[in-house]
Structure 1
């Protein structure tokens, strides 16, 4: 097989993988986490169930792939090569999440399941994601506020709290969407740690 043929096959495989992820995202949005099956995703994308398993060895691997794609798509939607993340961008993502409860369900369920054992398919994804997010949020907060936030915390101490509030609010919102305004509550927390000082719009 020539290098050109190999490149063509790789591009085809990547395109098929992306199509499966998009189909899974749509099925999750329509049916929710529990009702999403490999069979439903396979039907949506025009493959057999073994065809989907060729790209994703299990339902859990597929759902982790959806979360990875969600993160990539969010970054592409809210940031460009010339912009850096700010708290305002994070607020936008929190607000956007209110429009996709199925994906939030998937994230929350897999995050919880990933803590149950080292061999869970989602454990590496979440361990790496949280480490990267803590570092990214600390850098973002330092860029906005310097070495100390107005509320007195360092960026490194505030970063895990920011993540904890985002994830905790998602659980409360999923359980009581009519009682918990996730976006407003997140903004309230940002006001607390920033002392109400938002130097960056």
Structure 2
């Protein structure tokens, strides 16, 4: 019997306005005709664990790892506007970075459940770009990194769609889940 290990993930991107509510996109022509408001600025997409990320996971299983583990002290999320869909697995950063990288929120990463319970195989990361930290349009890519220097390794890369627009009064929250499964 052959065992198959799979690593998959999702990224949830949410733009929150100064009133604490999820912001809305401008309504499309069709929605305006029917008097409907715009769709929420909320995106949930699959991500790709990069080639670097696979190596990082393997390194962390060594008795003496050589790479930096992603923790709230060392983990960062980078955003960009250059999604192309080309060579996603080979990406080591965002193609067109925008704004500064944001450190993971305190206490992250965490698992969805205690060891031995359903959900203990899901690792969650979160970074919150608080109001005043980001002012960017057409954010359509994100990368989860183990640092904020040129030596940082990208664990995962994702498309953000629909693209997000964040002003200085908005908060952008990124929730990243990596699930490890086997069969």
Q: With structure 1 as the length reference, what TM-score do the two structures score?
A: 0.20
Greater Cα radius of gyration, structure 1 or 2: 1
Q: Which structure shows the higher strand fraction? A: 2
Q: With structure 2 as the length reference, what TM-score do the two structures score?
A: 0.22
